[in-house]
Structure 1
Amino acid sequence: MAQTNKLKIFNDPIYGFIGTPNEFIYNLIGHPYFQRLRRISQMGMSYLVYPGAHHTRFHHALGSMHLMRQAIEVLRYKKVAISSEEENALLCAILLHDIGHGPFSHALEEKIYLGNSHEKISLGFMKSLNDSLGGGMDMAIAIFEGNYRKPFMNELISSQLDMDRLDYLKRDSFYTGVTEGNINSERLITMLNVADGHLVVEEKGIYAVEKFLMARRFMYWQVYLHKTSLVAELLLIKVVERVKSLLKAGSDISCSEPLLYFLKQDGPVPLNEDLLKKFAFLDDVDVLSAIKRWQFHDDEVLSRLCKMLLNRKLLKIKIRNKPAKEGKVAEKQKWVAENYGVSDEESGYFVFSGKIDNKTYDLEHQNINILKKNSTIIDVAKASDHLALQAFSKTTTKYYLCYPKASVSELNLR
C-alpha cells in the first residue's frame, strides 16, 4: 500500500518553497485549528486601502517558521547549542504563535473575545493541541511562555527583533506594494548571535537593524495606522457595539452560531476547552456574511454602518496632534441626528473621536542589543549614530475625529 508523503512544500511568493520539516509539524499544519488561519486576514481592513493586502495569518505563520529554520541554522553555525528537540519546539512555537487571532486579526480583539488576548488564546490552543496530538509540545509551550532555561529561544519568538516581526514587515510590504517597508530579513538573521543566554546582533549588522526600525515606523504610521484603514476598523467596531446593544435590548440578530455566542457575552469569558472549540469556528467569513445580512436590518444605525463598510462609503477621518474640541464633536453629532433620523445618543456611532499611539522601539523591554567586536553588549539606540533611533523610543500620540463627509464644509475643517 502506498504511503502518503508527509514532507510537503508550500510555494511562498516571498521566500519560495517552504517545506514541512517533519511529520509532527505536518500534522499541526493540517489540524483544523491551524487551517482556520486561512480565513483570518493578516491586516484587518487594510485591503480597503491596499487592494493586494488579502494575505492571511496562514501565510504569515508559515513564513515565520521558515525564518526560524534559517535562524536556527545560523546560530548552530556560530556554535550555539540547539538540540533537535529544541529545534522542533521552536518551530512549533513560532508556527502557532498567532493561532489565537480572531476575525480581522487585531481589529476586533477587544470586542469579540473579552478578557482574552490573542496570545492567551494561542497558548490555550497550543495546550489543547498538545493533548489531542499525544504530547510532544511541552517544551514549545515553555518557550512560548518564556519559562524555558534558554531566554534567547523565547526572544526568537517574541521580542523586538523576532521572527514574527521579520516576516510580517517583509510580507505586508510585499502584499501592499509599499516598498519602504521591505526589510532584509536574511541579512538580519545572518547577524544574529547569542551572548549571556540572550539574543544579540553582531556589530556589523547595526545598519540592518536601523533599516528594520525605520521600516517598522514607516509601516505603522503609513500602512497599519493609515487613516482609511483606521476608520474602516473603527466602523467595524461600531457595528459590533451596535449589535451587542441591540441584543441586550432583546432585538433579533441573525448570524452564525459562533459569532452570536461571542456577541452575547457581556464580560470576560473563561478560557477553557469549550470556549476554544467555539472560537475555532469563528473567522472573517462569519463577520462578513453577518454584515451583508445586517445591512437590511430594521435598525437604521446598524443598517447604515454595514452599508458604509460594504460599499466603502466610509466616514471622514481627521488625524491631528491635538484632541478635537468638544464643541466640534457636538456640532457634527447634531447634524447626524437631524439628517440621519437617529437619536442624539445614536449619533455617537457616526461621530466619535479618540487617540492612537505607537512606539517604534522600547528602551525598557527586550532591547535589541548589539554585540561589539570587543565582546561588550550595548543597546542599539546607544550604539547607533542615527539620531532618529533616540526619537523612535518615544511614544507618538495622535488624535482622530470621525464624522460623515456631508456633515461639514471645507471651511469648517480649517
Structure 2
Amino acid sequence: MAKTKTNKLKIINDPIYGFISIPNPLIFDIIEHPYFQRLRRITQMGFSNLVYPGANHTRFHHAIGCMHLMQKAIRVLRTKGVEISDDEENAVSIAILLHDIGHGAFSHALEHSIVNGISHEEISIKFMKSLNNHFNGKLDLAIAIFEGKYHRKFLYQLISSQLDIDRLDYLKRDSFYTGVAEGNISSDRLIAMMNVKDDELVIDQKGIYSVEKFLIARRLMYWQVYLHKTGLVAENMLVKVLKRAKELTKKNIEIEASTALKYFLNNEISLKDFDDEKLELFSRLDDYDILHAIKDWRNHSDFVLSQLSTMIIDRKLLKIDIQDEKHSKEEITIIKNQLKEAYKLDDDLVAYFAFTDMVSNQAYNSEIPIKILTKKGTLLDIVKASDQLNLQALAKPVNKHFLCYPKKMKLA
C-alpha cells in the first residue's frame, strides 16, 4: 500500500484573525517539531488568569499569530516598492515564528529562580541553532536577521523594535483573551501604514493616529493587565516557591518533581554550560511540570514550601501594597516582626513571606524612536510629529514600589 503524503500547506483557524495559512513545508515542519509544540504548554500571560479567567492562551497561539502578521507586513511593503526576496520573506517569517521559543514555564518566573543568568532571548537563539542543525542550515538567514546581523535593518525591526510584529500581536491577542478593550489596537491598520525609508521601518504620516492609539493601549495594558497587582504578587510568590525548592534540594532534602524540573533544581546552569543536553532537558520543562510540582509541594514537610504552594493553588495570595515611593524600613520591620511572632520564623524564612521590589514601565522609548514618514519625505519621531501632548509623558519611565506580606499582618 502506497504511503500518503502529508499535506503541509495547512490552515489554522485563529480566533483573532480567522484562517491562517502555513506558507511552505519548511515552516510546517518547524511548527511540527517538539521544540515548537512545547509552546502549547507555556501560557502567554502566566498567572494573569487569576485576574482575567479567559487569559489561558499560549505562546503557541502568539507565535502563529505573529507569523500571520509578518506575512501581511511583507505583502504591504512589497506593494510600496520595497524589494524583499522570497528567501528574505521566508527567513523573517521563521525568525518571528521562533522569537519566543526560549520562554520557560510561566514565562519570566523561571528566569528569576531556577535558571538564573540566562534570558529567554539567549535560550531562543540556542533553540534556533539546534533547529538549524536539524534542518541542514535552512535557518541560517532567519538567525542572522533575528540577531540583527543581516545588512537589511528593517527586517530586524519587524521582529524587534518599538512597533514590531510581536507587539502588534500580543496587544491585540491579550486584549481579546482578557476582555480588556483598552488594548484592542488595529494591527491591520498599523501594518497597512508601514513603509521603509533609508533601510528603516517607518510609518506613513496618515497612520499617526493609529500609532498614538497603539502607544496609549500599550501603557494601559501594562498597568491594567501585565503589571496588575494580583498577577504580580502571584508571579513573585512562584519565584519564591522555586527558590525555596532549589534551596531545599541543595540541602539534600527530597523534593518531588518531574525529571526535567529536578535537574534544574539540582544544578546551577550558566550560559556557557547550556549545551545541547541542557537544551533538550529545558525543552521538556513547561507549565505542567510547575503546576504538578506545587500541587505536590502543598503536602511537603517544609513550612515555607507547603504554605506558599497552598496559597498559590488556592488563590489565597499575599497582600500587595503598591506605591510611588519606596516603603520605609519601619514599615518592613513592623511586618517582619509580626511574621516572626505569628509563625516563629527566623529572618531568612521571613523573607519568603514579606518582601519588596519595584516594577517599571516605559510605554515609549525615545532612544529607539518610531519614525513617521511625512508627505515631504522627511522622517520625524512620533513624539514630535504628534499633536498629542501626553505622548511626551509616555516616554518617561514610571516606577512603582511594592511590598508583599500576609493579609493577617498590618502595616501600622
| TM-score above 0.5 | yes
Cα offsets for 1:289-344 (capped at 9, x unmatched): 00011110000111000000000000000100111111111111111122123223
RMSD over aligned Cα atoms: 1.1
Structure 1 residue 283 and structure 2 residue 286: aligned? yes
Give the TM-score, by structure 1 length: 0.97
Contact 1:353 1:401 in 2 (8 A): yes
Cα offsets for 1:166-220 (capped at 9, x unmatched): 0000000000000000000000000000000010000000000000000000001
Q: Name 1:377's counterpart in structure 2.
A: 379
* Matches of 1:112 and 1:160, distance apart in 2: 30
What is the Cα deviation at residue 38 of structure 1? Answer: 0.2
Q: Name 2:101's counterpart in structure 1.
A: 99
Runs of 4 or more consecutive aligned structure 1 residues displaced over 3 Å after TM superposition: none
* Residues 218-229 of structure 1 mapped to structure 2, 5 A cutoff: 218-229=220-231
Name the amino acid aligned to 2:332. V
* Residues 296-315 of structure 1 mapped to structure 2, 5 A cutoff: 296-315=299-318
Contact 1:301 1:342 in 2 (8 A): no
Contact 1:100 1:122 in 2 (8 A): yes
Name the amino acid aligned to 1:309. I
Structure 1 residue 251 and structure 2 residue 250: aligned? no
Q: Secondary structure at the match of 1:71?
A: helix
* Matches of 2:243 and 2:323, distance apart in 1: 25
Q: Name 2:189's counterpart in structure 1.
A: 187
* Matches of 1:257 and 1:49, distance apart in 2: 31
Q: How many residues align?
A: 409
Give the TM-score, by structure 2 length: 0.97
Q: Secondary structure at the match of 1:201?
A: strand
What is the Cα deviation at residue 348 of structure 1? Answer: 1.2
* Matches of 1:360 and 1:42, distance apart in 2: 20
Q: Name 2:29's counterpart in structure 1.
A: 27
Q: Name 2:329's counterpart in structure 1.
A: 326
The answer for unaligned runs of 5 or more in structure 1 is none
Q: Secondary structure at the match of 1:112?
A: coil
The answer for unaligned runs of 5 or more in structure 2 is none
Q: Name 2:76's counterpart in structure 1.
A: 74
* Matches of 2:269 and 2:103, distance apart in 1: 19
* Matches of 2:402 and 2:268, distance apart in 1: 27
Q: Tell me which of 342, 345, 349 is aligned to 2:345.
A: 342
Contact 2:195 2:204 in 1 (8 A): yes
Q: Secondary structure at the match of 2:360?
A: strand
* Matches of 1:241 and 1:82, distance apart in 2: 47
Q: Tell me which of 19, 35, 47 is aligned to 2:49.
A: 47
Q: Tell me which of 352, 358, 371 is aligned to 2:361.
A: 358
Q: Secondary structure at the match of 2:127?
A: helix
Cα offsets for 1:336-375 (capped at 9, x unmatched): 122123223211111111111111111112x210000000
Name the amino acid aligned to 2:323. R
Q: Name 2:216's counterpart in structure 1.
A: 214
Contact 2:113 2:240 in 1 (8 A): no
* Matches of 1:161 and 1:139, distance apart in 2: 22
Name the amino acid aligned to 1:282. L
* Matches of 1:233 and 1:386, distance apart in 2: 35
Q: Name 2:176's counterpart in structure 1.
A: 174
What is the Cα deviation at residue 267 of structure 1? Answer: 5.4
Q: Tell me which of 126, 135, 138 is aligned to 1:136.
A: 138
Contact 2:111 2:117 in 1 (8 A): no
* Matches of 2:110 and 2:185, distance apart in 1: 28
Contact 1:334 1:344 in 2 (8 A): no
What is the Cα deviation at residue 97 of structure 1? Answer: 0.4
Q: Name 2:405's counterpart in structure 1.
A: 403
Structure 1 residue 165 and structure 2 residue 177: aligned? no
* Matches of 1:219 and 1:264, distance apart in 2: 37
Q: Secondary structure at the match of 1:400?
A: strand
Name the amino acid aligned to 1:291. I
Cα offsets for 1:255-288 (capped at 9, x unmatched): 0111111122335242321121111101001111
